Amino acid sequence: MSDKNATAQLLLQARKPGKALTALPESALPADKAQAYAAQAELVSLLSNHSGRPVGYKVGCTNATARQMLALDSPFSGRCFEKELSISPATIDTATLHMIGIEPEIAVRIGKDLAPSKNWQRTDVIDHIEAVMPSVEVVESRFSSWPLMGFLSAIADNGVHRHLVLGEPVKNWSADRIEQTRVTLTANGTTVREGVASNVDGGPFGVVAWLANHLNAMGTTLAAGEIVTTGVMTDIYDSAPGETIVAHYDLPAVVELQVTSL
């Protein structure tokens, strides 16, 4: 059995410049998903000291291509933090980041708790959603061997989440409209990625249902007021300092992020 406290401390230190890990030592490597999420919970507690309180969740590996990359059979979750949440247009200083992965996504704000009273399905969760927003997640692995370090390390590493940028809530949204949403991602005006919300398994609302059931199974409830970003609509884009990233959604909406290195 791995030491969840030691794992969390190693991953916290690995966030510092020049401290990326190649792999977790055997004594700190989770043996299964339960241990990986236990280590993540310890890391979240440590991160809250400087990143603020958790305000929601990211869901990753929501499509077959991403899961194949990590040899994973299901999505995974991580926590989003108050001080790592921005409203578009935003600027992020990436001087301390080991990687700058850009993921255009659909995010939602939960309006009513999704309690462990049922097996949640896509159609069930729609009435529990208060708002839908375009978003860009910045992902960063604390492993120089990404993605070869494997999914257990990725889960323990808070699902490789770093920052979330939200656009304006979509007015008069419908489930069909959101699930058919397309996005074009540009870097300094050049198109670098294109995709659609249905790229994620079950669409964004299916992902919310998965998360609700996943949390219920771990004794937690997806609660009113929490933000969920539901998975990348395109292939991940590796950005670099000096780029202006804009995600153009046909809702219509835009999410803009200036990538700097101060």
Q: What are the extents of the domains in the chain?
A: 4-260
Q: What is the pTM of this model?
A: 0.96
CA 69 vs CA 60, 104, 211: distances in Å? 12, 19, 21
Q: What is the pLDDT of residue 117?
A: 82
Each residue's pLDDT, cut to its tens digit, for the chain (262 residues) gives: 579 999 999 999 999 999 999 999 999 999 999 999 999 999 999 999 999 999 999 999 999 888 998 899 999 999 999 999 999 999 999 999 999 999 999 999 999 999 998 899 999 999 999 999 999 999 999 999 999 899 999 999 999 999 999 999 999 999 999 999 999 999 999 999 999 999 999 999 999 999 999 999 999 999 999 999 999 999 999 999 999 999 999 999 999 999 998 7
Top-level CATH class of 4-260?
alpha beta
Q: What is the pLDDT of residue 1?
A: 58
